[in-house]
Structure 1
Amino acid sequence: MAFLIPWGFERKSACRALALVLFVLLPTCARGAGPSREEGEFEIRIDGEEIGREKYSIEVRPDGIVSVSTGTLRNSGSEGGRVRVETRLEMDPHYMPRSYRVETSAGDRKGRLEGTFSPGQADFQYLIEGAPRRSGLMLDEYYAVLDANVFHHFAFVGRLFDFDDGEAQALDVVIPQELDNGTVVIRDAGLDTTEIGRKEKRLRHLKLDSGQLLIDLWLDEERVLQKIALPQRRIEVVRRP
């Protein structure tokens, strides 16, 4: 699998210990908030230049939640070209993952990752031009998926965050394409004015700290994700009209 923009989450063990001492962990029973059906398209930019797009949908069903996406990104490797990324993530009503599939293609090169999840464990199978390779992670009981180069997954953070709490909150996450996990600390930065599609909008602003990377999210009143910024990577991801 090609990792064009690695997230750079701090290793779970150290960050988890800090989260337990200083922050409120998001509750394992959280059902989240947001529309039952959300869909859209993001434009992905580096230094203001478009490098890709991602179309996605999130559907809340009686027995769980399903998200799917199709995206293209400019390949940062020496061969150039573009990488196509398709995902399907099935979750329980609390955004705990059940199964995940990622398919990538870049020219003649194709890859597939399949993941299955249970409390405390994630198992993966990679198919990349050869025999399958299996791997796994030992995790805590509750976690969410925030995969590399799959930007709509940040919508789950906005849906799970408790705006009434008033404190920083921590969420354990797994990053399947990097075979890694960590903890992200989330803070409410209040209402903020930012540019979306050449228009100024007043939106809810969340600040995320992965231990190695700072991430900004902007949400509307229905908690629909409008914009993502990764200043250290000079990346902006903006919802298209």
Structure 2
Amino acid sequence: MDTGVTSTVKFRTVSLALALGIAVCAALSLAAQKKAAESSGPVVFAQDKGKLTIKLAGQTVGHEEFEIAPSGGGWLAKGTAEITPPEGAASKVSGSLTLQGDGAPISYDWSSQAEKTNGAHVLFANGVASITLEMQGARPFQQDLTFNSPLIAVLDNNLYHQYAVLARIYDWSKRGVQTFPVIIPQELTPGTITVQSTGSASTDGKTYEGLKVTTSDLEILLLLDASHRLMRLEVPDAKVSVIRE
């Protein structure tokens, strides 16, 4: 990663100035959200709110504020990140992910502001992600992506709080290696990740619960507190650190 601060399925080098963004389509109706939430299983989430500092090679390049809270019978994970890379234009990206209590996504909206303002709305149903993308100066684009499970991890570019959601979806009672389908909405990219507990991990004199996320060519280490809240994220190969304030 030449800029380092972008999460994709393959985590290839992608500029922080990547600007896919606003024009959010009509949100999923409240009735549909309630129906989906009522059909979910056990609740895996806990309320959380915080601010993350994003560093590249030790230099602060951005901040993200996020909140995970109950909403309309389900859960809402939302965050906004402001990125100022060493080279390239500054950008601002926001994401709002509506989830069932068991972690299955219901809908997702993202917007990004940089040189252009773009965005998209994603509706999830029966393992299918229906995407409506609106880019500044272009006609809306629609695409469906099909997955083998409704429990899809949403890990979008530069929205690191979504790894806090992933840490909740992981089945801690079973531990071991667990595989999840994943979507990177800003890139219309589907894929697969594996997640595995690594036990106790220490950094800067503090001890955490480690969770390793593996893609085809990178490993991401999540450091969690005793309640499985995301406290720190490390991508060693990309020299990226995300630290909870």
Report deviation, 1:145: 1.1
SS state at 1:151 partner: coil
Q: Summarize the alignment of residues 13-52 of structure 1 with structure 2, pairs less than 5 Å apart.
A: 31=42, 33-35=44-46, 37-52=47-62
Contact 1:147 1:177 in 2 (8 A): yes
* Corresponding residue to 2:120 among 113, 124, 129: 113
User: What runs of 5+ residues in structure 2 fail to find an aligned partner?
Assistant: 12-39
Counterpart for residue 92 of structure 2: 84
Report deviation, 1:9: 3.2
| TM-score between the two structures when normalised by the length of structure 1 | 0.81
The alignment's C-alpha RMSD in Å is 2.1
Report deviation, 1:8: 3.6
For 2:172 and 2:160, the matched residues in 1 are separated by 22
Q: Are 2:142 and 1:137 equivalent residues in the alignment?
A: no
- Matched residue type, 2:240: I
Counterpart for residue 67 of structure 2: 57
Contact 2:120 2:133 in 1 (8 A): yes
Contact 1:32 1:159 in 2 (8 A): no
More strand by share: 1
Contact 2:213 2:220 in 1 (8 A): yes
Q: Summarize the alignment of residues 153-192 of structure 1 with structure 2, pairs less than 5 Å apart.
A: 153-192=162-201
For 2:86 and 2:183, the matched residues in 1 are separated by 24
For 1:47 and 1:177, the matched residues in 2 are separated by 24
Counterpart for residue 157 of structure 2: 148
SS state at 2:161 partner: helix
Cα 1:166/1:152, change in 2 over 3 Å = closer
Cα 1:167/1:8, change in 2 over 3 Å = closer
Contact 2:128 2:146 in 1 (8 A): yes
- Matched residue type, 1:51: V
SS state at 1:154 partner: helix
Contact 1:31 1:95 in 2 (8 A): no
Counterpart for residue 213 of structure 1: 218
Contact 1:187 1:207 in 2 (8 A): yes
Moved more, 66-75 or 162-171: 162-171
* Corresponding residue to 1:202 among 207, 210, 216: 207
| TM-score between the two structures when normalised by the length of structure 2 | 0.80
User: What runs of 5+ residues in structure 1 fail to find an aligned partner?
Assistant: 11-28
For 1:189 and 1:159, the matched residues in 2 are separated by 15
Report deviation, 1:32: 5.5
Deviation >6 Å, runs of 4+: none
Report deviation, 1:60: 2.9
Q: Are 2:133 and 1:126 equivalent residues in the alignment?
A: yes
* Corresponding residue to 2:80 among 59, 66, 70: 70
